[in-house]
């Protein structure tokens, strides 16, 4: 087989993958219009598993035509060069590189994973860049006027469902923009709108993303579109605050469903709106998590090449299931499953793997950190501090080996580093502590609405993000809420107490909500505050009602922005005044 033919074969495999991926994504508008929220979840889950299936398909095609038992170095070097040439003007070139890497790495042993045969670093830096303008449309209010232009923009999204009162929504939108970004307000002939042409769908919401270009500079914005109680569309909120926008694109949320022909151009546009977001985070956010993984690895290699900090044990209470370490100047933690668990953890490695996969496939509702999963990771041995190496040998010897000057880790998870909630509270003021404890309660409630029972709800298993959001990150006891049995604690009689017998039996899935604070909080002030703000979480009825909602398919929307941003909320407040 000719090297060029093989390069074409692999690129054809990628083309099939991308076409089918976009077809799956293309089901989102109809599901949103018909309010088929179960379908939205099915689409999200299908996309996560789609990539591996297409890679395996391509590998089978290669093996039918080529002996891959031994690496023919000269031949595969030619294949890569032909493949690279085919990508010169390819609109998804960076994704096609990653697809090629996946095919090669599954065909051959990792000893061949270097720049000669795969794209460790992208080779597209010198290729003609995809014009960002191919990804957005521009509108000029000077032609038709401000409100007619906004109406044209929204109508061109074709939501397949009518608005209840679009003219009123536009008036609220213009007013909100003037209030939120007064410094960028100009006459309509002094501005331009740049809009991404496809809505970003997630859960029960659709998001319109764009920017206003004026003499004051660039003002990014996100418009939230929802269904009202009658099933018609309404604009729910305008977001212009960069911090709020970053939360909407946060690492604890499900991936957006959005169609694009040139992902690099879309990521570049989004990066201009949210410059603090990395390419890895933005590729993840728009559903290309494999490309996000590639971009993250490149960021990690760049950090290793341009720093000298050493891996150390991560701050926080040591876990019973995971060994966790970090690089002080790199904002992530590395988690490896221990060889042996504490006796209080009656499950094994396969259960942990399954539970992390459960969260990966699930709606994380802004409360569960995304994880990046790697196998056979090679790290420089001299970057590990002695104490960490000692701990690794003591806890995860079965998952590591030393080869020359490198430590090879068989399997690990990587998560965004956060300040453990228990450590945050130790250093926080009373006001800060009360706020995060309130958010801790909200985090639990929002996970329950997504059919997630976090299991171990100790404060050490939650982190505080830089936006002071409480996010769960320890998944070894995660289960579906509907699988649990919530019970009321029996009230013993005097005879029961004197008998010395067990007062009640406890099955593995039994949970007693009344005991939540007994095990979670020792600070009396925080305990009292939690009882005041979230008393329902201490009642069995609340948990059982949450189960009933899931069973009855009552889908609740969890707003990824503050309630005071909502137009409906503002209108209600005015009616009360």
- Residue whose C-alpha is closest to residue 332's, from 407, 263, 278: 278
For residue 448, give the H/E element and its range: helix 430-449
Beta bridge partners of 235: 225
CA nearest neighbour of 217 among 244, 183, 243: 183
Q: What angle do CA 309, 299, 332 make, to 5 degrees?
A: 60
Residue 439 CB: number of other CB atoms within 10 A? Answer: 20
Cα–Cα distance measured from residue 313 to residue 324, given in angstroms and rounded to the nearest whole number: 6
Q: Is 320 annotated as a binding residue?
A: yes
Neighbours of 571 (CB within 10 A): 12
Is 205 annotated as ligand-binding?
no
CA angle in degrees (0–180, nearest 5) for 288-254-219? 80
- CA 328, CA 313: separation in Å to the nearest integer? 10
For the question of residue 370 being annotated catalytic, the response is yes
Pairing of strands 406-416, 419-420: unpaired
Tell whether the torsion through CA atoms of 263, 269, 273 and 274 is positive or negative.
positive
The distance in angstroms from the start CA to the end CA of the chain is 78
The answer to whether 26 is a known ligand-binding residue is: no
DSSP reduced 3-state for 171: helix
- Give which of 477, 339, 323 is closest to 391, Cα–Cα: 323
- The response to whether 319 counts as a known ligand-binding position is yes
Q: Is 317 annotated to bind ligand?
A: yes
348 is in an annotated binding site: no
Which among 370, 439, 456, 474 is annotated as catalytic? Answer: 370
Query: Is the C-alpha dihedral spanning 96, 102, 103, 105 positive or negative?
Result: positive
Torsional sign, CA 559, 565, 571, 576? positive
Q: Is 513 marked as binding a ligand?
A: no
Let me know: does 87 contact 93? Beta carbons within 8 Å.
yes
3-state DSSP helix/strand/coil % of the chain, to nearest 5: 50, 20, 35
Q: Which residues pair with 401 in a beta bridge?
A: 408
Tell me the torsion sign for CA atoms 46, 52, 58, 59. Answer: negative
The string of DSSP codes covering 269-324 is: HHHHH-TTS-HHHHHHHTT-HHHHHHHHHHHHHHHHHT----BEEPSSPPPSSEEE
* Cβ atoms < 10 Å from Cβ of 17: 23
- Could you tell me which residues are annotated as the binding site? 314-320, 335
- Could you tell me which residues are annotated as the binding site for ATP? 314-320, 335
Looking at the annotation, which residues are catalytic? 370
């Amino acid at each position: 087989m000719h090297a060029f033919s093989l390069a074409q074969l692999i690129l054809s495999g990628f083309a099939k993958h991308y076409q089918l991926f976009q077809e799956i994504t293309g089901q989102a508008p109809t599901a949103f219009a018909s309010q088929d929220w179960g379908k939205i979840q099915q689409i999200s889950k299908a996309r996560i598993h789609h990539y591996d299936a297409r890679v395996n398909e391509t590998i089978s095609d290669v093996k039918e035509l080529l002996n891959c038992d031994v690496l023919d170095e000269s031949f595969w070097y030619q294949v890569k060069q032909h493949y690279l040439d085919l990508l010169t003007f390819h609109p998804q070139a960076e994704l096609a590189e990653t697809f090629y890497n996946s095919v090669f790495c599954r065909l051959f042993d990792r000893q061949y994973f270097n720049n000669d045969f795969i794209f460790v670093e992208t080779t597209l830096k010198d290729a003609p860049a995809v014009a960002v303008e191919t990804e957005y449309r521009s509108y000029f209010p000077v032609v038709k006027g401000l409100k007619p232009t906004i109406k044209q923009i929204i109508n061109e999204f074709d939501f397949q469902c009518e608005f209840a009162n679009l003219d009123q929504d536009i008036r609220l939108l213009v007013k909100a923009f003037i209030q939120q970004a007064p410094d960028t307000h100009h006459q309509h002939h002094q501005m331009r709108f740049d809009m991404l042409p496809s809505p970003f769908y997630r859960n029960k919401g659709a998001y319109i993303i764009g920017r206003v270009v004026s003499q004051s500079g660039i003002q990014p914005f996100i418009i939230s579109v929802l269904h009202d109680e009658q099933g018609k569309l309404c604009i729910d909120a305008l977001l212009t605050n960069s911090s709020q926008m970053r939360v909407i694109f946060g690492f604890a949320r499900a991936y957006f469903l959005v169609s694009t022909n040139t992902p690099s151009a879309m990521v570049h546009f989004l990066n201009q709106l949210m410059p603090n977001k990395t390419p890895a985070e933005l590729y993840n956010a728009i559903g290309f998590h494999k490309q996000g993984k590639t971009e993250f690895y490149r960021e990690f290699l760049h950090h290793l090449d341009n720093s000298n900090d050493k891996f150390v044990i991560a701050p926080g209470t040591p876990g019973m299931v995971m060994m966790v370490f970090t690089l002080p100047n790199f904002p992530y933690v590395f988690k490896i499953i221990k060889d042996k668990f504490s006796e209080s953890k009656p499950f094994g490695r396969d259960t942990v793997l399954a539970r992390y996969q459960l969260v990966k496939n699930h709606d994380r509702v802004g409360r569960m950190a995304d994880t990046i999963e790697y196998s056979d990771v090679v790290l420089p041995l001299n970057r590990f501090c002695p104490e960490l190496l000692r701990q690794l040998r003591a806890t995860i010897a079965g998952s590591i080996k030393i080869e020359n000057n490198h430590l090879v880790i068989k399997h690990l998870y990587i998560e965004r580093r956060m300040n453990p909630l228990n450590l945050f509270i130790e250093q926080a003021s009373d006001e800060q502590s009360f706020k995060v404890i309130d958010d801790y309660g909200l985090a639990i409630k929002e996970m329950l609405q997504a059919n997630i029972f976090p299991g171990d709800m100790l404060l050490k298993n939650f982190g505080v993000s830089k936006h002071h959001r409480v996010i769960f990150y320890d998944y070894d006891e995660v289960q579906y809420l509907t699988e649990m049995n919530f019970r009321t604690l029996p009230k013993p009689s005097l005879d029961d107490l004197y008998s010395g017998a067990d007062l009640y039996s406890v099955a593995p899935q039994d949970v007693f909500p009344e005991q939540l604070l007994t095990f979670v909080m020792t600070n009396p002030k925080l305990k009292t505050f939690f009882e005041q703000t979230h008393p329902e979480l201490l009642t069995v009825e609340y948990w059982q009602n949450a189960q009933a909602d899931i069973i009855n398919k009552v889908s609740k929307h969890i707003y990824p922005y503050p309630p005071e941003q909502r137009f409906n909320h503002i209108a209600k407040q005015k009616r009360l005044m």
